Structure 1
Amino acid sequence: MPKPIALPAVAPGINPHRNARTLEQIPILDPLLYQPHAQRPVRSKMRELDKDTLIMPHTHPWAQLALSTGGVIRLSLANATYIVPPHRAVWVPPGVQHAVTMVETARLYTLYFLPDTHGGGAQAHWMNDPVWQECRVMEASALLRALVVEMDVGSDNSLPLTLTQQERELHLSALVCDELRRAPVIHLGIRLPKDKRLKNLCEAVLADPTRHETLEQWILDTGASLRTVARLFRSELGCTFTQWRQQVVLAHAVALAAQQLPIAHIAAELGYTHSAFSALVRRTVGMTAATFLGQQQSAPTAP
């Protein structure tokens, strides 16, 4: 039995959905029961979770991939948040504190990856690349999703795997790692500020980005002036309020798209015309709205 890796204490700082509806907070399943080790360098667990469930902030010394089937999840860090639909997955490096909120009811698959510093060996060298030291959202191919679902999700309290099952898990996990290295990265995350006044405003926008139209309306509850808030956006987030809110709009579009809503409906829900929303997506992420939202454009019908 591998020696358990000590888990760091949870630090304060993550407060996902401060202004959103009440969430059902649940504890994490004991990570040590799914700890990856040299014989099983990639481990998987699965939970069926209801909408508005919050997995409390936590951290662990191995990397993590979170992927859901049939629902949207929100992964929150101290300084950023990511909204992830089923056709994408989110990577969390070792030691990064995070919380997970179920935007919709879904099965949540969590894969743990053993770094080579903890015994992962040569097969884990790819995780040492600087690009894997930051959180990232990636396209989850059909093959990657199928591989994840096939991984064994038993804990160390379950019956031990047979040699045949261990061999199969190693083959599956090697393919998972290969698919991850090939997966296109989606450069879309929502940065969060440190300033308390600005963070409260940003969390309110995250909860309901269409509630107000102008920054002047949003700042009424902050106790700060328009000039101060505008300056804080530039100094802490490196952008204007309008640019930051557009990122939030796109994140909410992802959540709506997971409900199989047409693009025109999604645009209207977010206060845009179809053409204006399509232009926003193209300008921000460099792809069509259909591609960004994981929707296949239907072929034109013959006259």
Structure 2
Amino acid sequence: MASTPRRIGPRTSHPPANPAQFQPTPERPLRGKARVLDHHEDIYPHHHDWGQLVLSVSGAVRVNTEHHTFIVPPSRAVWIPPNVTHAVTTIEKAHLRTLYLHHGQLDGEAWQRDRVLEVSGLLRALILELSALPDPAPDPEPEEAARQLDISRLIVRELQRARPLSLGIALPRDARLRKLCEAMLESPSRQDSFEAWAAEVGASPRTLSRLFREELGTSFAQWRSQMLLAHALTLAARRRPMSHIASELGYNSASAFSAWVTRTVGMPPSKFFAEA
């Protein structure tokens, strides 16, 4: 496993919580752990040889991988394949549950890609149960080991049935464009012009427009809309009122925000949030 420190502004960055101590094995193919992160805390970018599922029981987190960022409310989880570098940033204080999965538990091309999954009530309960076990700990007694294995098998079955969701936001490789995208993710309510953002990251609007097209296949305005919608979904999942969501995203009124969502996705926020 490799780790690289990461700091953005006043954030506090931490290393992973000894993931090697939770390494899954053929005898214990799923290992779970719990961790609380306060607002504006990061976990350093890192990777390991086994797959990982990240669930926030309460609060919301942003999970970054090399190519995507996922803004995830409690009703969703992020799947991270083996050896994919990832980092976690809290949007607000979050109680995290992490599962580590031994190689071969989830096979197929779909599991080679990072993505967001819907979490059923049963899957959530199983994850909470497995991550509540004292761990790391001495090997369990045979009866408890058999119970843990049963829970692990059922979790895998539920993950195979979980519906994937298109909540990922593409991230670029180019350092200049990546800096711009990261800055916008950190301050979604800022209404600065494209020219102002470009000046902040030290690149011309023309260069950044070309990079948006070449690396992300989109424009600045389209990427920003996708980012704002993902953030709005997170707030809506936490039952925030429309006026709060509008204010959080820099709109002067709920009606102005509603009009923007309707223009962007072709339906009012209430229907969009319900379907998403």
Query: TM-score, with normalisation over the residues of structure 1?
Result: 0.81
Whether the aligned pair in 2 keeps the contact of 1:56 and 1:100 (CA below 8 Å) is yes
Distance of 2:166 and 2:181 partners within structure 1 = 19
- Are positions 1:31 and 2:9 aligned together? no
Q: State the Cα distance separating 1:282 from its structure 2 match.
A: 5.5
- Are positions 1:289 and 2:273 aligned together? yes
Q: State the Cα distance separating 1:226 from its structure 2 match.
A: 2.2
Which digits, 9 at most, give the CA deviation of each residue in 1:52-85, with x for residues without a partner?
A: 2211111111100000111101111233211111
Matched residue, 1:132:
111
Distance of 2:272 and 2:233 partners within structure 1 = 13
RMSD of Structure 2 on Structure 1 (CA): 2.1
Counterparts of 1:148-227 in structure 2 under 5 Å?
148-151=127-130, 152-156=132-136, 158-227=137-206
Distance of 1:162 and 1:280 partners within structure 2 = 56
Matched residue, 1:82:
70
Q: State the Cα distance separating 1:279 from its structure 2 match.
A: 5.0
Q: Which moved more, 1:144-153 or 1:219-228?
A: 219-228
Matched residue, 2:258:
274
Matched residue, 1:3:
none
Distance of 2:49 and 2:70 partners within structure 1 = 21
Matched residue, 2:221:
242
Whether the aligned pair in 1 keeps the contact of 2:66 and 2:84 (CA below 8 Å) is no
Greater than 6 Å deviation, 4+ residue runs: none
Q: Which moved more, 1:218-227 or 1:103-112?
A: 218-227
SS of the aligned residue for 2:42 comes to strand
Q: State the Cα distance separating 1:197 from its structure 2 match.
A: 1.9
Q: Which runs of 5+ in 2 are unaligned?
A: none
Whether the aligned pair in 2 keeps the contact of 1:190 and 1:248 (CA below 8 Å) is yes
Whether the aligned pair in 1 keeps the contact of 2:71 and 2:167 (CA below 8 Å) is no
Distance of 1:153 and 1:82 partners within structure 2 = 28
Distance of 1:46 and 1:79 partners within structure 2 = 26
- Are positions 1:228 and 2:207 aligned together? yes
Q: Hey, which of these two has a bigger chunk of strand by percent?
A: 2
Distance of 1:202 and 1:188 partners within structure 2 = 16
- Name the count of aligned residue pairs: 267
Q: State the Cα distance separating 1:91 from its structure 2 match.
A: 0.2
Q: State the Cα distance separating 1:281 from its structure 2 match.
A: 4.6
Whether the aligned pair in 1 keeps the contact of 2:56 and 2:96 (CA below 8 Å) is yes
Query: TM-score, with normalisation over the residues of structure 2?
Result: 0.88
Distance of 1:291 and 1:267 partners within structure 2 = 19
SS of the aligned residue for 2:155 comes to helix
Distance of 2:263 and 2:121 partners within structure 1 = 28
Calculate percent identity across the aligned residue pairs: 43
Whether the aligned pair in 1 keeps the contact of 2:58 and 2:96 (CA below 8 Å) is no
